[in-house]
């Protein structure tokens, strides 16, 4: 049942008080306590902006493809040492990918470009402090400017993690699908884990972030014991259905790394 204050607002699909779907079905979503404070902005506007800022990488040079797993690990290590939030680290990786898809970078500069992307992502995220990374290359400022030029200063991008966090905020599990609300946390954490696993693989960078996020969330639902991989109500809400081949590819990668 929805609450007494369920009122459909313009462009809104949820009751801001109880989380009920305002689609005529009035089904409630279950959300973790940390996600109960809904964003002040219209959720449909937030989702529209996320979709406008998402990109998929169409091409990687061969030399970058070979070195990319090590560079991704390098960014995660630097991010951990500098205590950067996960989103900033994911943005750094996407910016690095985007730069290499647009320009042929000499192998000797790969690490410097990765460092530049960390600095750029940190500066573009208002909540972050500029990381104090030891042993900066002497020419790091000129490389940073060159990276910004290649990116055409377009720094507001949407990553897979952005979409996972968005759908975790608005809800991706229905109340009548689970008996224990802790299942929602299990589903989200597994989705984030799969996202971190996939980010090291070149092939997943060539998929739109939202598509990958939906598959990670669907896998999380399955891991948490939810019967349907993606409920019909979620298809109606997101206008998305998990890509079965992509979902299978993600789970094969998981099973390869963590055989049961």
14 dihedral zone (left: phi>0; alpha: psi -120 to 50; beta): beta
pLDDT in tens, 8-37: 333 445 555 544 444 444 567 777 766 656
Of the candidate ranges 32-41, 47-56, 116-125, 128-137, the one whose mean pLDDT is the lowest = 32-41
3-state helix, strand, coil in the chain (%, to 5): 60, 0, 40
In terms of domains, do 137 and 219 share one? no
What pLDDT does 37 receive?
A: 60
In terms of domains, do 216 and 232 share one? yes
| pLDDT band with cut points at 50, 70 and 90 for residue 134 | low
Residue 16 lies in a domain: no
In terms of domains, do 41 and 79 share one? no
Provide the domain count of the chain: 2
Cβ count within 10 A of residue 149: 10
């Amino acid at each position: 049942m929805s609450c007494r204050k369920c009122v459909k607002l313009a462009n809104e699909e949820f009751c801001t008080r109880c989380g009920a779907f305002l689609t005529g079905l009035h089904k409630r979503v279950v959300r973790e306590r940390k996600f109960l404070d809904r964003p002040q902005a219209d959720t449909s506007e937030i989702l529209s902006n996320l979709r406008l800022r998402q990109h998929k990488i169409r091409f990687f040079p061969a030399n970058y493809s070979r070195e990319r797993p090590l560079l991704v690990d390098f960014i995660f290590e630097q991010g951990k040492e500098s205590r950067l939030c996960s989103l900033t680290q994911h943005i750094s990786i996407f910016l690095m990918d985007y730069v290499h898809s647009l320009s042929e970078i000499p192998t000797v500069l790969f690490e410097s470009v990765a460092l530049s992307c960390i600095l750029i992502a940190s500066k573009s995220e208002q909540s972050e402090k500029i990381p104090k990374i030891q042993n900066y290359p002497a020419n790091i400022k000129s490389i940073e400017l060159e990276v910004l030029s290649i990116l055409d200063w377009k720094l507001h991008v949407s990553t897979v993690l952005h979409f996972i966090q968005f759908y975790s905020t608005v809800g991706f599990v229905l109340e009548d699908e689970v008996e224990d609300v802790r299942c929602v946390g299990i589903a989200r954490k597994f989705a984030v884990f799969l996202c971190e696993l996939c980010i090291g693989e070149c092939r997943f960078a060539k998929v739109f972030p939202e598509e990958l996020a939906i598959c990670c969330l669907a896998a999380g639902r399955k891991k948490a014991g939810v019967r349907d991989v993606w409920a019909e109500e979620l298809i109606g809400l997101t206008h998305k259905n998990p890509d079965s081949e992509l979902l299978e590819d993600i789970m094969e990668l998981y099973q390869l790394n963590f055989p049961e």
